[in-house]
Amino acid sequence: MPSAFQQIRDDFPVKQRFVYLNNASIGALSRKVVGAVTGFLQDVQDHGRLHYPDWCRYADTTIKERIGVLIGADPSEIAFVKNTTEGILIVANGLDWHPGDNVIIADIEYPSNVYCWMNLASRGVSIKWVKARGGRVLLEDIDALIDRRTRLVSLSAVQFSNGFRLDLERLSVLCQRRGVLLNLDAIQWVGALPLDLRRCRVDFLSFGGHKWLLAPIGTGIFYCRNASMHHLHPPNVGYHSVDKSEDHMDYDLTFRPNAGRFEEALVNFPGIWGLAAAVDLHLALGAANEERYILGLNALAKRGLEAKGYDIVSPQGDGEASGILSFHHPTLPPERIADTLHAAKINLAIRGGNLRISPSVYNDDAEIGRLLEALP
C-alpha cells in the first residue's frame, strides 16, 4: 500500500520537469490547488457576483475553521492577508507606540521583519538587535535585551537563511514573564512543522501561503490572539472592516468583533480557494507526519553532503532543525555549484553565501540522491 506521501506525488507536475528543492522560496503548486483557483474563476465567469455572499460566508467560516485546525487557533483569530509582510505591517503600524519604546529583532532576520521597525524611527521607536551566535537566536540574549520600554519581540519562527528553529513555547513563556508582546513570522514554519497556538502564548503571527504551504502567491494569514486584539488599531480601514453586510450608507465605524477587522476590503477569493485546497492536503497528511518526512529527507541529504566533503551550516542541535538545510563547499563558490545543478535540472537557492535546499512533502529520497550525485 503506497504511503500518503507517495500518493500525492503525481499531483505535482513540477516533479516531471525538475528536482525542485526550493520550497522555502516559492513552493510548487499541485493540480488540486490550481483546479480550486480555476474553479472559482469559472464561477465568476459564469455568474458574476451572484455568489458573493456565499463566498464571504464560506471563507469566513469553513476555510478559517480549516486553517484554525492547522495552526491551533480559533477562526475568530484569523484574517486573510496578501503575504507575511502585510501581517507584520498590521502589527508595526497598529500598535500605540510612544517615543522611547523599543522592539527586539534579530540581526539575521528577513527584510520584511526589519524595515517596518526601522520605519518607526520617526515615531521615536528604536530597535534592539539580538546578535545571532553560530546562526542561533538565543533566548538568554533576548531576555538580556528586554527593558521597561520594550513593547514587542518580533522574530522569525524559522530563520530563512539557515533554518534555525526557535523554541516557541519557551520564547512565549519568556515574553509573558517579562510582560512584552510576541510577534512571529511563521512563513518558514507552517506547512513543514507542527504548530499549536493553544500551547504557546503568541500575540501575533503571520505567514504567506506561497512557500511550505504550497498555496498560491498573494495569499496569507494574519493571526491575532483574541486576548491581544485590543493592542492593535487596524491601520487600514475599509468597508470590510465593519459588519454592515451591504448597507454601505450606514457610516458607523464599529469594527468587526474578530480578526476580520484587519481585512479592509475584498479579499483574494481565487487565491484563498487555492489556499483552502493546500490546507486540506496538509491536514490529510498530518503536521507531525510532515515534519518527520521532511526532516528525514534533510537527514539523508546531510549524510550524503558530509560524505562528499560539504560543511553543514544549519544548526542541528536538539529541536533546532527545520525544513531548511544550508551548506557550503570548503573551496568551490556556491554560484558555480548552483549553475552545475541547474544544468542537471536541480533547483535550490543561495542564501547568505550558502547553498540552501528545502524539500517538501512531494519530494522523495530519489530526488535527494540525484542532488548528491550531481554535486561536484
Please report the sign of the dihedral spanned by the C-alpha atoms of residue 164, residue 169, residue 174, residue 179: positive
CATH assignment, 36-284: 3.40.640.10
Domain boundaries, the chain: 4-29+286-374, 36-284
Q: How buried is 323 (Cβ within 10 angstroms: 0-12 exposed, 13-18 middle, 19+ buried)?
A: buried
pTM (two decimals): 0.96
pLDDT tens for residues 131-164?
999 999 999 999 999 999 999 999 999 999 999 9
Phi, psi of 20 (to 5 degrees): -100, 110
The CATH H-level superfamily of 4-29+286-374 is Aspartate Aminotransferase, domain 1 (3.90.1150.10)
Backbone dihedral region for residue 191 (phi beyond 0: left; psi -120 to 50: alpha; all else: beta): left
Q: Cα 250 vs. chain centroid, distance in angstroms?
A: 37
Counting beta carbons within 10 angstroms of the beta carbon of residue 375, is it exposed (0 to 12), middle (13 to 18) or buried (19 or more)? buried
Distances (CA, A) of 290 to 41, 80, 90, 191, 281: 31, 24, 30, 8, 11
| pLDDT tens by residue, 210-244 | 999 999 999 999 999 999 999 999 999 998 899 87
At 162-217, the pLDDT tens digits run 999 999 999 999 999 999 999 999 999 999 999 999 999 999 999 999 999 999 99
